[in-house]
Amino acid sequence: MRTRSPLLALAVAALAIMPLAACAPTVPLEAAPEANSVACAEISVRLPQTIGELDRRSTNAQATAAWGEPTAVIYRCGLPDLGPSDLPCFDVDGVDWLLDESDAPQYVFTTYGRTPTTEVIVDITYIAGADAVRAISGAVAATPAEARCLATTDVFGGGTVAPETE
């Protein structure tokens, strides 16, 4: 019986490790306060492996996800409820999202009316915010809506305001 040379064993080991070295590094993120909730787990297992052309990457925090290299989309679940907001609100596939554009080109989309609150940060340099949120909304819809955003017509009663007649 012939034994393999140590040099051959080292070469085989190096070839086995090389594909791992080509992988994107883990994205360092901070877990949200309620990241360990069952609802976050229900959402997280439903997240897509790709968003557009962006592949999902590994993260180092519970109830988080990231896509693209450089990172173009970040997902975090378990944030505190924002409550009423004057930020614009959009329904995407049955999920209400608040949009904060104050740190453009990074837009922050935050769910409204769902517990736990979910946040998606999108760098619009690499992907449209609507495309990223649409890809994640199906997973977020696994948690029930407890409230909905109000339309302007809901706030002001719809139609025009007319003076009372006597």
pLDDT in tens, 54-71: 999 999 999 999 999 999
Residue 17 located in a structural domain: no
Residue 59 located in a structural domain: yes
Residue 2 located in a structural domain: no
Q: Residue 69 contacts by C-beta under 8 Å, 6 or more apart in sequence?
A: 24, 55, 57
Average pLDDT value for the chain: 83
Residue 84 located in a structural domain: yes
Q: Which domain does 82 fall in, by range? A: 24-147
Residue 15 located in a structural domain: no
SS3 content of the chain, % helix, strand, coil (to 5): 25, 30, 50
Q: What percent of the chain has pLDDT over 70?
A: 76
Q: How many domains does the chain have?
A: 1
User: Residues 96, 90: contact at Cβ < 8 Å?
Assistant: yes
Residue 63 located in a structural domain: yes
pLDDT of 6 strictly over 70 = no
Taking the model in full, what pTM does it have? 0.77
CA 70 to chain centre: 16
Cα–Cα dist 52/41, whole Å: 23
Residue 3 located in a structural domain: no
Q: What percent of the chain has pLDDT over 90?
A: 70
